[in-house]
Structure 1
Amino acid sequence: MNLNAPSMSHFVRGRLKLAFFDEGDPNGPPVLLIHGFASTAIANWVHPGWLKALGDAGYRVIAIDNRGHGVSDKLYDADVYHPWIMAEDAVALLDHLGISEAHVMGYSMGARVATFMAIAHPDRVRSLVLGGLGIGMVEGVGDWDPIAEALVAASLDDVTHQRGRMFRAFAEQTRSDRQALAACIQGSRDLATKEDVAKIEAPTLIAVGTKDDIAGSAQALADLMQHAEVVDIPNRDHMLAVGDKVFKTAVLEFYKRIEHR
């Protein structure tokens, strides 16, 4: 498989038109991918080589453009971006495709959405991969209001907040609707409780870059969970960890162990 962007399809949930791709081996075990904040299915999973890696390994690879992102519908009300709402979008995609259960992998905000999906719909999640988010899942990941402000500033030149500049530049690179992203960053920060995380029975792999200053400790999150293991992604920050070979190798080995149980 090559790294060319696949064509996107759409399905409707309520009044919302949501985009996704469905690639790889149609008869292989399904993997549902949920991208991070300000990213897209293509930017998060195709360009960094995940579609190729999973497709070549025989998986059916499905990825959603979260509401407010990519070519899915854009909304400007923060209250429609809670992670449990986006988790229902992901479940609706599985319903649309007639898939009863999938491996679910999310990165950063997508890891939060995947976790809420595993909490609400444990029967739909065969395994869980959480990239770019550790104990920040339950303790928070700092003040993101400056990022919302950076997204709607008149120009990148007006943004002095370092993390705000990083996400503003990324949003411009992905040609995102910055107003929708500002609403999303305000609405999607709900924390999972330690009690809910402890109830997750799905085998879980938590992968965080050793230079990631956003995610929080992967081991601290794993210690709360029933069946979680950790992989450290060496010398990678939050933005660069997603495409790392160590991460991909760990996920493929994790899936292989689950498939051969």
Structure 2
Amino acid sequence: MPKFTTNKVTISYEVHGKGKPIVLLHGGAVDFNYNYVQTGWIETLTENGFQVIGINFRGYHESDKSNDPKFYGTENFSNDVINLIKHLKFSKVFLLGYSMGTLIAFDLLYRYPGYFSKAILIATGNGLIGIPPYILENLLPGFAKIFSYESYPSHLPKHLSAYWNFINEVGLDKESMIALSLGKYPSLTVENASKIEIPTLIISGELDLVLGKGEKVAKTLPNGEYLEIKGANHFALATEKKVHESTIKFLIAE
């Protein structure tokens, strides 16, 4: 697996196929493989003319790890993505984020708009612009507690206890995940979000109990579109056929 190092931090990534480059940002408690490879996204994108670039965020897979919360946070994750784009010598890419990856994507679209053609944010909600109750910055400290349990926390709702299973199934470092959850992940203000002119598709699940729905985010964006998948929860969106098809349709539209 290729890696690159910037500012003494080494990040692992993968490249699949040939064509128009699209950078994929995975969710929390899962890596690029678990979020995208195992759910068929490589085939969906490469068979439709895209080159997939999958980053493993710091703390994940073979990327550098730390038990210091300051090592993580939106700004550090976003900078790693930009450094990867520069490392691969791309001038402009498409962007796809899932769950926690949508928060990083949103920050990138605001701070580095020149690098991106279009964006798709999946399994996300109005917390991206600070609308409660699903504001990631407020929710993540609770995940640190979930990761701290020595055994499966069966007393928690399944959509939360699932994250304890994820870090064990994926083989993530527990202490790194706890530190990551305690990093800084501020939401964009409505005012700042309204300045993002990059065409962006927001895809939410009707039954998402993790980050809710993102229809207000889509309305805030000058070129935002919204798609809600009936009957889908936060996790099912990764494999929903309609999500895959709608993503391709949005990316290839003129």
Name the TM-score, length of structure 2 as normaliser. Answer: 0.93
Distance 1:85 1:146 in 2: 21
Distance 1:200 1:17 in 2: 30
1:10 and 2:6 matched: no
Aligned equivalent of 1:95: 86
Tell me which amino acid in the other structure corresponds to 1:15.
K
Q: Judging changes above 3 Å, is the alpha-carbon distance between structure 1 residues 65 and 153 closer, same or farther for their aligned structure 2 residues?
A: same
* TM-aligned CA deviation for residue 188 of structure 1: 4.6
Superimposed CA distance per residue, residues 50-106 of structure 1 (whole angstroms, 9 cap, x where no aligned partner): 011100111111010001112211111112221122011001000000001100110
Contact kept in structure 1, 2:205 and 2:213, CA below 8 Å: no
Distance 1:58 1:144 in 2: 36
Aligned equivalent of 1:58: 49
Q: Give the gaps of 5 or more residues in structure 1.
A: 1-7
SS of residue in 1 equivalent to 2:139? coil
Superimposed CA distance per residue, residues 171-194 of structure 1 (whole angstroms, 9 cap, x where no aligned partner): 111111111111111215321111
Alignment match of 1:24 (pick from 11, 14, 17): 17
Distance 2:236 2:41 in 1: 13
Contact kept in structure 2, 1:146 and 1:161, CA below 8 Å: no
Contact kept in structure 1, 2:206 and 2:213, CA below 8 Å: no
Aligned equivalent of 1:233: 229
Alignment match of 1:160 (pick from 149, 155, 158): 155
4+ residue runs over 4 A deviation: none
Distance 2:11 2:56 in 1: 7
SS of residue in 1 equivalent to 2:182? helix
Aligned Cα RMSD in Å? 1.4
SS of residue in 1 equivalent to 2:220? coil
Distance 2:185 2:144 in 1: 12
Aligned equivalent of 2:169: 173
**Paired positions, count:** 248
Tell me which amino acid in the other structure corresponds to 2:155.
T
Identity score, percent: 26
Distance 2:82 2:185 in 1: 20
* TM-aligned CA deviation for residue 13 of structure 1: 1.6
1:35 and 2:26 matched: yes
Distance 2:44 2:9 in 1: 31
Q: Give the gaps of 5 or more residues in structure 2.
A: none
Name the TM-score, length of structure 1 as normaliser. Answer: 0.91
Task: Give matches, 1:63-212, under 5 Å.
Answer: 63-139=54-130, 140-141=135-136, 143-156=139-152, 160-162=155-157, 163-212=159-208
Contact kept in structure 2, 1:30 and 1:61, CA below 8 Å: yes
